[in-house]
Amino acid sequence: MNNRFTFMKVASALALFAMLLSACGPAKTPASTTLRITIDSWLIKKWPIDRAAQRFMADHPEFKITVAPNADDYGNNWLLPWSQGQTESDLMCGSMDTTISPFVAKDLLVPLDDMLVDDGKINLEPDQFVTPLLEASKYGDHYYAMPFMGEVYYLTVNTDMMKAAGLTDADGKPIPPKSLNDVYEYAKKLTVKDATGAVQVWGLHLNWAWNSAAITYMALLQAQGGGYLDANGAMDFSSQAALDVMTFARKVVADGYASSATVTDENADRNDMKAGKAAMILTFHSRFKEAQLALGGTDKATVMPWPGSDENGSNAQAIVCVIPKISPAIDLAKQFIREQMMDKDNQQWSANQYGKLPSLKRNFEGLPDPEYQMVLQALDKSGFGPKFVQFNELDKLLQQETQKYILGQQDLNTMFANLLAGSSQLDLTLVSK
Amino acid sequence: MRLADIRIKSVLRRLPQSILLAVIALLFFSPLLWVLLTSFKNTDEIYGGQMTILPEQWTLIQYQGITKQAKFFPTYMMNSFLITIVSVTIIAIVAILAGYSFGRLRYSARDGLFVSFLFILGVPNVVFLIPVYLMLLQLKLLNN
Amino acid sequence: MFNAPHPPVRAVSKLNTIKERTASVHNRRREALAGYLLILPALVLFIGFLGYPLAYSFYLSLTKYNFVYSNTPTWIGLDNYIKMFSDPQFRVALLHTGQFTLMFLPALMLLGLGIASLIQSHAIGGNILQGVIFLPVVVPLSIAGVMFIWLYSGNFGLVNFLLNKVGLGYIGRAWLNSPETALPAIAIVNLWKYTGLSVVLFLAGLLAIPSELYEAARIDGANAFQLLIYITIPNLKETFALVTVWGLIESWKVFALPFVMTRGGPGDSTQVLYLYIYEMAFKYYDVGKAAAMAFFLALIILLLSLLTIRLMQTESQ
């Protein structure tokens, strides 16, 4: 054994260790004049965050802003670091309303009640907001997130197909269906089959994908029955309205006038709409903008209320920003929200480019597309995601049971029985600090 | 003449299995081939009514799309690169040292240690997910 | 069996002088010291990244602990393990994982052995074609998943396209959207990816069989079928064991494909155990239950592997 050889090997092993250890140094804490914004990656091109950061820095040269994507959508990757007292984010944008429940439960967020005032320059009092978008951020008595963008479940329709099926009025505007039966008849008229019986154009798409089934259910139920909760505050799985909407949902698929492709492909509906293979889709209203772009004109696609949603509302989702308590730049973050996230120009940019909704009512003024005014009316009465402690479990249960029913694997009564049994085992109290 | 005869006979004898093998290989290759060909097709040709094997019009528009859309693509590539280089280096060094130790040197704990290494490797990594994540968090090695 | 070579044994009995004996003890101590030092990096990494997490995970599995809604872990002993079996979602996941294994493993072996024998019988271009079949092994699993989502598509997919071309268009459908076909479809993707490896292993096993055995048997008048049963398969015992153990581990741990392709759907027809564990930990935040299920999964894999090795050993005795 060569001693020098051994010594070299040992030394290199120790050197390696030194390298590893030095890499785990403590993270540098930035000064409170730097704002680190993190935002969901799908949101980066749909909301002018970079432009907002540039404008803020131009207005306030003493501050520095960085923008980075969240590692996981809805910012779930921040749950662990924030609970351990570490953050690389001062302002986290992108959660879809009640996905911030775990953050609230672990008391990781700064309450934002003091922002909801009129400071003479910018009025952010609660009545200025689109109601469900703000209420979605309220847990207990406090608001923990600021909505800057919104979506609501609405029908996006292909105008030409509606015209061809005789479902438009004298001005060429589609006539909204008045009942579930109407929707069924529409879907029947709009479905186009070829010589072999294969479907070329689907009359209707309802979205039963893993991330949408619960929203679809709540939207249908809200429109039909005025709400999706039962008398005990749990999700309604027994009322006549619930039975009616699900019976309809299955019938329209079983009879061949609606597609069930969304069960495993959450984008089947918007892709079909863009390719001209679907006439009506019930999903986030912003798809109408995508459809207009894909089909070649603002007269090619528009929105239509689901029967009942003009009186009872639909289901809305708020896209929000939150500030972690451990951030060293809390006041800076609040200022950025006030000046840029709530800014009319920024919110309208998102509306005009991607069909997203502003979160303040006054930011709707001056939008060229008439669809926004149509949606705003139903929007104000809409429900939003429930803040149940075990909502994730309920969500999964709902997906599985509704999917089985829609695909014809089980009947209506079994589905509702399973849903009732499953949800009775879950903790459906509301999340609060 | 005789040599050619033998050669032809040899080919004919091997023909059935060769054809079978070729068909199987083609089946295995077709998904990759399909994806490759599709990357050169127009979007409407991909989603349009008539499906085709070869593109009607060869186009590079999809590749242009990547460079436009992925603002963070270079970062991702760098990250993958970094991960590969660092992990391969560390593994190589550590394994060489340990392998030499297990293989060529004698000391009392050698057998016991070797078996425990093997045993732990047999456990699927599902059980390691959460604690390792927590540990990396403590060491501040996350999100950098 | 531990059969590592070691340096030539010193002729200890010849060292009689005290000087020589202390020198040799000194050498041995230095050797031991060097041994431990060289092991040190691997040991630290192991204990740090594998040993400690394993122990902590095991501790968590004996507690009731929800990461978001509990303050600290509460000791409940084996409760998680017992309650697991009355959870219908756990049972469904277990069932589907078992079904997946049954769909995947036998096919893996058949294809591996079949293709390897084709190559071994000197098919033309065998080496190149073997490379082509091996190609999917280097494609990352999640990418393969995304690729096949599209291939299996009802309207735009290659599978239905090819079926149409050969006149079997009527069985075409959205393969991942039907509860009956979703799990087999995923098993096929797994086969596509891993058959190449199986082929390599079987080929090595086949090439190791001495050709004298075959010649001797042929002289005795054995036909092809008898050759297969009496020579080929018995001599491939170790290969079968290896492929089985490895295939068992891969199929019981299946996660990336169902996660990327179907998320456990449609309904719960592709809900597998690893996926359920993942959801339990990262969606419901119940890390106690998740850890218990993870250890249970590890136990299953361990037992099945040991069983396979034991079976193969006793047969070759």
What's the pLDDT at C233?
A: 81
CATH number at residue A233: 3.40.190.10
pLDDT of C28 > 80? The answer is no
Query: A1 CB near a chain C CB, below 8 Å?
Result: yes
CB proximity under 8 Å: A 186-225 to C: 210
Query: A71 CB near a chain B CB, below 8 Å?
Result: yes
Flag if B51 and C249 touch (Cβ within 8 Å): no
What's the pLDDT at A126?
A: 93
Query: A394 CB near a chain C CB, below 8 Å?
Result: no
What's the pLDDT at A24?
A: 47
What's the pLDDT at A358?
A: 93
Q: Which residues of C touch B35 (CB under 8 A)?
A: 147, 150
- The mean-pLDDT minimum among A317-331, C40-54, C253-267 falls in C40-54
What's the pLDDT at B78?
A: 82
* A271 and A124 in a common domain: no
CATH number at residue C97: 1.10.3720.10
ipTM > 0.90 for the complex = no
* A328 and A365 in a common domain: yes
Contact (CB, 8 A) for A427 and A390: yes
Amino acid of residue A226: G
Tens-place pLDDT, residues A382-400: 988 889 999 999 999 999 9
- The mean-pLDDT minimum among A88-97, A417-426, B124-133, C94-103 falls in B124-133
Looking at the domain assignment, is residue C165 inside a domain? yes
pLDDT band at C222 (very low <50, low <70, confident <90, very high): confident
Looking at the domain assignment, is residue C5 inside a domain? no
What's the pLDDT at B69?
A: 63
Tens-place pLDDT, residues C188-212: 999 999 999 999 999 998 888 888 8
* A405 and A267 in a common domain: yes
* C161 and C105 in a common domain: yes
What's the pLDDT at A33?
A: 85
* C38 and C97 in a common domain: no
Among C38, C44, C263, beta carbon nearest to A9? C38
Looking at the domain assignment, is residue C19 inside a domain? yes
* C118 and C27 in a common domain: no
* C229 and C173 in a common domain: yes
Looking at the domain assignment, is residue C1 inside a domain? no
Mean per-residue pLDDT, C225-244: 82
The number of C-alpha atoms within 13 Å of A243 and in the hemisphere containing its C-beta is 6
* C44 and C127 in a common domain: no
Flag if A1 and C265 touch (Cβ within 8 Å): no
Looking at the domain assignment, is residue C18 inside a domain? yes
pLDDT below 50 — which residues of chain A? 1, 22-26
**Token pair of A84, please?**
């351990």
Residue C298, Cβ density class (10 Å: 0-12 exposed, 13-18 middle, ≥19 buried)? buried
What's the pLDDT at A218?
A: 95
Q: Which residues of B touch A81 (CB under 8 A)?
A: 137, 142-143
CB proximity under 8 Å: B 56-85 to A: 69, 71-72
For chains A and C, what is the number of CB pairs under 8 angstroms? Answer: 82
Flag if C36 and B20 touch (Cβ within 8 Å): no
* C97 and C55 in a common domain: no
pLDDT band at B97 (very low <50, low <70, confident <90, very high): confident
* C215 and C95 in a common domain: yes
Question: How far is Cα A69 from Cα A93, in angstroms, rounded to an integer?
Answer: 9
Tell me how many domains chain C contains. Answer: 2
Flag if B106 and C32 touch (Cβ within 8 Å): yes
Q: Distance between the two ends of chain B, CA-based, in angstroms? A: 72
Flag if B97 and A9 touch (Cβ within 8 Å): yes
Q: In terms of DSSP H, where are the helices of A106-176?
A: 131-135, 159-164
Which of residues A384, A399, A416 is at a domain's end? A384
pLDDT of C236 > 70? The answer is yes
- Structure pTM? 0.85
Q: Which residues of C touch A389 (CB under 8 A)?
A: 69
Looking at the domain assignment, is residue A109 inside a domain? yes
Tell me how many domains chain A contains. Answer: 2
* A169 and A113 in a common domain: no
* A177 and A61 in a common domain: no
Looking at the domain assignment, is residue A19 inside a domain? no
pLDDT of B142 > 60? The answer is no
Query: B51 CB near a chain A CB, below 8 Å?
Result: no
Amino acid of residue A40: D
User: Which of C146, C189, C268, C277 is best to mutate for the A interface (most A CBs within 10 A)?
Assistant: C268
Looking at the domain assignment, is residue A26 inside a domain? no
* C188 and C264 in a common domain: yes
* C146 and C48 in a common domain: no
Count the Cβ atoms, other than its own, within 10 Å of residue A67.
17
* A69 and A136 in a common domain: yes
Looking at the domain assignment, is residue C97 inside a domain? yes
* A277 and A199 in a common domain: yes
* C41 and C164 in a common domain: no
Looking at the domain assignment, is residue A416 inside a domain? yes
Looking at the domain assignment, is residue A223 inside a domain? yes
For chain C, give the percent of residues with pLDDT over 90.
31
User: Which of A263, A272, A401 is best to mutate for the C interface (most C CBs within 10 A)?
Assistant: A263
* A340 and A256 in a common domain: no
| CB within 8 Å of C126: residues ≥ 6 apart | B18, B21, C118, C119, C120
pLDDT band at C257 (very low <50, low <70, confident <90, very high): very high
What's the pLDDT at A61?
A: 92
**Comparing C-alpha atoms, which of A58, A106, A10 is closest to residue A389?**
A106
Flag if C266 and A403 touch (Cβ within 8 Å): yes
Flag if B137 and A84 touch (Cβ within 8 Å): yes
Mean per-residue pLDDT, C62-81: 87
**Token pair of A174, please?**
């589609």
Looking at the domain assignment, is residue C66 inside a domain? no
* C46 and C174 in a common domain: no
Mean per-residue pLDDT, C303-313: 80
Q: Which domain holds residue C160?
A: 80-316
What's the pLDDT at C306?
A: 82
Flag if C54 and B123 touch (Cβ within 8 Å): yes
* C32 and C167 in a common domain: no
Chains adjacent to B (≥3 CB pairs closer than 8 angstroms): A, C
Looking at the domain assignment, is residue A419 inside a domain? yes
Query: A354 CB near a chain C CB, below 8 Å?
Result: no
Flag if A12 and B93 touch (Cβ within 8 Å): yes
| CB within 8 Å of C270: residues ≥ 6 apart | C96, C182, C183, C186, C258, C261, C262, C264
Flag if B124 and C7 touch (Cβ within 8 Å): no
pLDDT band at B144 (very low <50, low <70, confident <90, very high): very low
* A338 and A419 in a common domain: no
pLDDT of B139 > 70? The answer is no
Q: Which domain holds residue A276?
A: 153-315+387-424
Query: B141 CB near a chain A CB, below 8 Å?
Result: yes
* A300 and A188 in a common domain: yes
Tens-place pLDDT, residues B39-91: 887 776 666 656 667 777 777 777 777 766 666 667 777 878 888 888 888 88
* A333 and A293 in a common domain: no
Query: A389 CB near a chain C CB, below 8 Å?
Result: yes
Looking at the domain assignment, is residue C271 inside a domain? yes
